[in-house]
């Protein structure tokens, strides 16, 4: 088997499966594609697949193809924060501004040439160009309504219906991205000095907003797999007056955790009992690798809102394009106040971008883009995991997200990722150290690593360089 062509191919495929470049249940590429990729005949591919099937790595499904049946032992996920709850003022480290200045929040090597290329994004650009040419003088002379373009809000409403949330376009207000939606929400429901509970580790953009709005933060431990710890949240609300909880229930950053339906319902019940707002960051909600099951992609938290106290925030920046500063908010009982605040803080959103996205969605391009993009993200996640297993220390722990853009890595306690960040930056590699996801000095041995880009070529070399820096340290 070692000397034959089909034996060599079988060995290559087995290595990829064991290194998690293919996941349990995933379909292998077609015979023709494997033949072309590895430069062998289709007969050689077939014989190699027969060997894999005999060995229990794959199984054939009539008329569907070959699927992975081998399931390697899962890595133990990173630990959940175990620290006393406290309400503290917020301070953002300078490192955050350095990372954002490198445009590297989701890319360890922004200078790399390998990029995801989508024909659907080309179609979006054509829509933008076409819409910009229609009635240009009228568009230049008038602002859009503060709530945003109705046709776009209808399309957003329809997407949510497909995800299990029944909402009306009148419940939505267009914003300048998700960060703007979160700002409007926090500004509306809180006043300076109020306490806000957040996931820990949690999104540094929220921590930044809390600092700007002079709000105190209470970091609630979150499982890297199942999300917010509701027992810890209950302890916090029994100890402090809390105005709001900010949570990302679907594929949260940095861990990729997903809250179960039961926990989503329980969170809403706690909010109802203790009378606080729940601000849902749904920016990764569209990015499930398998959107067919509620276990991998439950309906938004807003779907379980019984008292209009869940404020839903999202945007197209992660699911479509960061160049589009178009987001939305469904403000529940605070919706009118949020619209008034948008009017005074932004006035209106770009009508050209709204019209183009609405047409893009209406014609089915967004749905097709999501299907293609999530498939690409799954492959890139597998590339990243395979590289981590091959090049980084054996003691590393990591999450295995079923969607989103990033996973959470935990090194041995003696590895300081803030120092690693500084050393990597000298090699033009930009890491996102764990310190950014807490304002209490936690996660100094953790990293968020994004699979938003392919881990081949220059980025793969960057991962190898990081290994060398770890060993040197």
Looking at the structure, tell me whether residues 335 and 190 fall in a common domain: yes
> Strands (DSSP E) along 342-417, which ranges?
397-398, 406-410
Looking at the structure, tell me whether residues 206 and 329 fall in a common domain: yes
Looking at the structure, tell me whether residues 150 and 293 fall in a common domain: yes
Looking at the structure, tell me whether residues 48 and 149 fall in a common domain: no
Looking at the structure, tell me whether residues 204 and 307 fall in a common domain: yes
Looking at the structure, tell me whether residues 309 and 203 fall in a common domain: yes
Which position has the token pair 């590393």?
Answer: 396
In terms of Cα–Cα distance, which of 244, 195, 228 is closest to 90?
A: 195
Looking at the structure, tell me whether residues 29 and 91 fall in a common domain: no
Would you give per-residue pLDDT tens digits along the chain (473 residues)?
345 888 888 888 887 887 777 877 788 999 998 998 899 999 999 999 988 887 677 888 888 889 887 665 566 788 777 667 888 888 777 777 777 676 557 888 888 887 777 889 999 999 999 999 998 888 888 888 899 999 999 999 999 999 999 999 999 999 999 999 999 999 999 999 999 999 999 999 999 999 999 999 999 999 999 999 999 999 999 999 999 999 999 999 999 999 999 999 999 999 999 999 999 999 999 999 876 655 568 999 999 999 999 999 999 999 999 898 999 999 999 999 999 999 998 888 999 999 999 999 999 999 999 998 998 898 788 888 888 888 898 889 999 999 999 999 999 999 999 999 999 999 999 999 998 999 888 899 999 999 999 888 899 999 999 999 998 76
Segments forming the whole domain that contains residue 177: 87-99+144-364
Looking at the structure, tell me whether residues 250 and 304 fall in a common domain: yes
Residue 310 lies in a domain: yes
Residue 53 lies in a domain: yes
Residue 309 lies in a domain: yes
Across 402-425, b (16+ Cβ under 10 Å) vs e yields: bbbbbbbbbbeeebbbbebbebbb
Looking at the structure, tell me whether residues 205 and 239 fall in a common domain: yes
Looking at the structure, tell me whether residues 163 and 59 fall in a common domain: no
In terms of Cα–Cα distance, which of 285, 299, 357, 288 is closest to 128?
A: 357
């Amino acid at each position: 088997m070692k000397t034959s062509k089909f034996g060599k191919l079988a060995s290559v495929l087995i290595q990829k499966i064991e290194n998690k470049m293919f996941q349990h249940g995933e379909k292998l590429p077609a015979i023709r594609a494997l033949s072309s990729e590895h430069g062998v005949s289709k007969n050689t591919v077939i014989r190699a697949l027969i060997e894999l099937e005999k060995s229990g790595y794959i199984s054939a499904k009539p008329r569907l193809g070959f699927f992975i049946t081998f399931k390697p032992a899962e890595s133990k996920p990173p630990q959940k924060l175990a620290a006393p709850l406290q309400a503290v003022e917020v301070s953002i480290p300078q490192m955050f501004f350095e990372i954002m200045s490198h445009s590297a929040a989701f890319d360890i090597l922004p200078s790399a040439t390998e990029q995801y290329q989508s024909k659907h994004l080309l179609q979006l650009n054509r829509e933008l160009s076409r819409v910009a040419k229609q009635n240009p003088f009228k568009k230049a002379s008038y602002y859009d309504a503060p709530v945003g373009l109705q046709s776009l809000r209808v399309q957003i409403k329809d997407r949510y219906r497909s995800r299990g949330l029944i909402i009306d376009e009148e419940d939505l207000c267009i914003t300048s991205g998700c960060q703007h939606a979160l700002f409007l929400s926090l500004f509306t429901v809180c006043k300076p000095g109020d306490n806000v509970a957040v996931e820990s580790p949690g999104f540094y953009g929220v921590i930044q907003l809390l600092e700007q709005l002079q709000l105190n933060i209470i970091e609630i431990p979150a499982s890297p797999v199942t999300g917010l710890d509701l027992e810890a949240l209950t302890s916090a609300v029994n100890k402090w007056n809390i105005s709001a909880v900010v949570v990302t229930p679907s594929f949260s950053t940095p861990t990729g955790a997903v809250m179960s339906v039961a926990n989503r319902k329980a969170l809403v019940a706690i909010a109802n009992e203790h009378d606080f707002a729940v601000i849902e960051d749904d920016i990764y909600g569209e990015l499930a690798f398998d959107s067919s099951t509620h276990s991998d992609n439950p309906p938004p938290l807003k779907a379980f809102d019984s008292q209009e106290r869940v404020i839903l925030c999202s945007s197209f920046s992660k699911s479509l394009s960061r160049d589009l500063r178009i987001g939305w908010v469904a403000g529940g009982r605070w919706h009118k106040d949020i619209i008034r605040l948008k009017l005074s803080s932004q006035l209106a959103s770009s009508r050209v971008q709204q019209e183009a996205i609405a047409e893009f969605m209406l014609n089915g391009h967004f749905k097709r883009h999501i299907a293609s993009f999530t498939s690409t993200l799954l492959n890139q996640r597998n590339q990243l995991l395979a590289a981590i297993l091959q090049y980084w220390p054996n003691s590393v722990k990591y999450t295995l997200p079923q969607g989103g853009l990033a996973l959470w890595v935990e090194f041995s306690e003696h590895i300081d990722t803030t120092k690693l960040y500084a050393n990597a930056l000298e090699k033009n590699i930009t890491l996102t150290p764990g310190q950014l996801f807490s304002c209490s000095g936690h996660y100094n041995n953790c990293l968020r690593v994004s699979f938003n880009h392919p881990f081949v070529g220059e980025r793969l070399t960057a991962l190898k360089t990081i290994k060398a820096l770890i060993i040197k340290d």
